[in-house]
Amino acid sequence: MNKKRYYIYSLVLLLGITTLLSSCKKFMDINKNPNAPTGTVEESFLLGKTIVTWARVMPNADNYGGELSGAIVNAGGVSGYGSLIDYNYGPGNYTFWWDLYDNVTDLNAIIARSEVDESYQYYGAIAKILKAVHFQALVDAYNNVPYTDANRGVEALLPKYDKGPDIYKSIASLIDQAIGELQGGNAATLVPTNATDPLFGGDLVKWRKYGNTIKLRIILRAGDKVNFDNKNFSADGFLAEDAMVQPGFTNIDGKTNPNWGRVYSASGSAQGLTQRVPSYYMLGFYDGTKINDFFRGHLLYRTFPTPGVNQLGVPGGSEAVVKQPNDWYITLAATPSASNYAAIGIFKGPSAPQPIMLAAESHFLQAEAIVRGLISGDAKASFNNGILESFRYLNKDEGGNISTKYVDTTNGTLATSAVSSNYIQINPAIEVEIYQRLNSDNRLVNFDLATTTEQKIEAIITQKYIAHNMIKADESWNEYRRTGYPFCDPRNTPDYKYYSFASVISPSPQPDKLPTRIQYPAREFSYNAENVRAQGNIDPLRDKIFWAK
């Protein structure tokens, strides 16, 4: 995929150089340059392209977060893992900077159209919410980034960097503007359709709820480090369902579900995670070491409770052998393949919708906000709803519906039929009831046992960490750095591997032996050197995002 440099974007256009986002063009093939100025392409179609592009970033974001927060570790049989295990991050590691700034260019074009054409008011408002989402992701990864000068072309070829707290305050206000605009409009205002809005299909109430939920995440993450102008939310409330992108994913090259590309190509060749396994740390939240959760254990790991497993940085032994194509690929067939999949768990199929925010996250955000006094409500109910929605998502099939397969209520084993009296047709509510009963003495599951504010926050963030496993682990990494939960304790005991996700060869001086952030991308040092170097000599083992603990 060709990348346009956000700070010379207008200059490139003036020179007549066309930049194409080829993977998205296969969805939005309208025979025009999707990155040209307003007027060349209808911004209604441009909105759909930005949403699909954002969905395509999700697997990379999850991989980044998964490798840093303990979901994904090195396997056995190969070497050369480099920065995965030694945290020697340079400008080439985990770079999704350009994808986000490319998308912001297009979102700005939509916003600009809405400012001169009132019929595009809803499109502009949605673009503002998405712009806020993109800049939160950039700040959470890099801290200070170009914001006010970004994507201004010849007006700011070398954009200055804004401080993370200032960006956070600005994007919270941007969401307020957007929600207000989504409540207005007139007879001439265009309403997005399924074709132009592959996320919510033009449902403006859902967009307002999504805006509220993102704003809630922004305010909670910033804590007392940003003085927000408005900590209220619209009466629409927060997301109550998974936010899923579905432009028509199918098993054709370039059109498959983005997450499926981590397992198989459209032609059926194994991809992505073939040299990665789960960590002992993560497995401990399912196998009874820390929490007994055999239902989600079987939904996440094909051979649970004995997937290939390792401690980060340990040379792979017999337990770290990958069960091809990977240990997260669920199939009920004897031989896994691109056509033998159970359509459940993480990799649901090439035609599955792609989540960009789980309902579980929304409920856990609300639970924390209630505990901290930011909003009113029942924290325990929101906490339990977050757990239920996590079970519901993992139990969804390729079509986005609760699977009609069967599950053994005594051990979580999946089947296509009720092979014994222990099996029932999948029912997430029953699974959660059993899960809570099995862990009734565990305050990470039984909210009543969390008697202090910190214990409640620990339970909420730990359950969010579990819910985001292999789905949105970038959020797990963000929340760990913000709160310190779930605990990562690099103690020297025989069960160390279950209580720390830090690499055993970590050079980090931090108490948890973890890195603190990643580096700015190499091309910033080449093309915007003065401004990026003004941020100081960034050390990924010491320098923190402004909201970090």
| Residue-level pLDDT at 549 | 95
> Is residue 272 in a domain?
no
**Cβ atoms of 264 and 325 closer than 8 Å:** yes
Q: Judging by beta carbons within 10 Å of its beta carbon (0-12, 13-18, 19+), is residue 523 exposed, middle or buried? A: middle
Cα–Cα nearest to 481, from 544, 528, 538: 544
Are 348 and 478 in a shared domain? yes
| Contact (Cβ atoms closer than 8 angstroms) between residue 456 and residue 372 | no
Same domain, 98 and 223: yes
Is 538 within a domain?
no
Find out whether 528 and 159 touch, Cβ atoms under 8 Å.
Answer: yes
Domain holding 196: CATH number? 1.25.40.390
User: Model pTM?
Assistant: 0.92
- Any domain includes 261: no
Residue 264 bridge partners (DSSP): 270
Would you say residue 149 lies in a domain? yes
What is the residue-wise DSSP string for 384-431?
HHHHHHHHHHHTB-TTSSB---EEETTT--EESS--STTEEE--HHHH
Q: Please tell me whether residues 431 and 378 are part of one structural domain.
A: yes
Terminal-to-terminal C-alpha distance of the chain: 36
**Residue 271: φ, ψ to 5°:** -135, 165
pLDDT at 62: 97
Per DSSP bridges, beta strands 414-415 and 406-408 are antiparallel
Assign residue 434 a region (left: φ > 0; alpha: ψ between -120 and 50; beta: otherwise): alpha
Domain-located, residue 347:
yes
In a domain, 62, yes or no: no
Residue 78 lies in a domain: no
Element (H or E) spanning 106, and its range?
helix 97-116
Residues 6+ apart with CB under 8 A from 57: 96, 99, 100
**Host domain of residue 237:** 6-56+91-248+516-533
Helices (H), 244-347: 280-283, 294-300
Task: Tell me how many domains the chain contains.
Answer: 2
Mean pLDDT of residues grouped by 10 in the chain (549 residues)?
Answer: 40 29 34 35 86 96 97 90 95 91 96 95 98 98 97 87 98 98 91 96 98 98 97 98 98 96 95 93 97 98 96 90 94 93 98 98 98 98 98 98 98 97 98 98 98 98 98 98 95 81 95 96 94 96 98
In this structure, the answer to whether residues 227 and 347 fall within a common structural domain is no
Domain co-membership, 494 together with 520: no
Same domain, 293 and 438: yes
- Shared-domain flag, residues 138 and 287: no
Spell 94-107 as b/e; 16+ CB within 10 A means b.
bbbbbbbbbbbbbb
Strands 73-74 and 276-277: antiparallel
**Taking phi first (over 0 means left), then psi (-120 to 50 degrees means alpha), and beta for anything else, what does residue 151 get?**
left
Report the CATH number at residue 469. Answer: 1.20.120.840
Looking at the structure, tell me whether residues 319 and 430 fall in a common domain. yes
Q: Are residues 98 and 196 in the same domain?
A: yes
Q: Are residues 208 and 322 in the same domain?
A: no
Torsion region of 430: left, alpha or beta (phi above 0 gives left; psi -120 to 50 gives alpha): alpha
Is residue 260 assigned to a domain? no
CA distance 382 to 208: 19
Tokens 């792609």: give the residue: 354
One domain, residues 235 and 156: yes
**Cβ atoms 133, 34 nearer than 8 A:** no
19 and 121 belong to one structural domain: yes
- Considering all CA atoms of the chain, what is the largest pairwise distance in Å, rounded to the nearest integer? 71
Written as one letter, the residue type at 315 is P
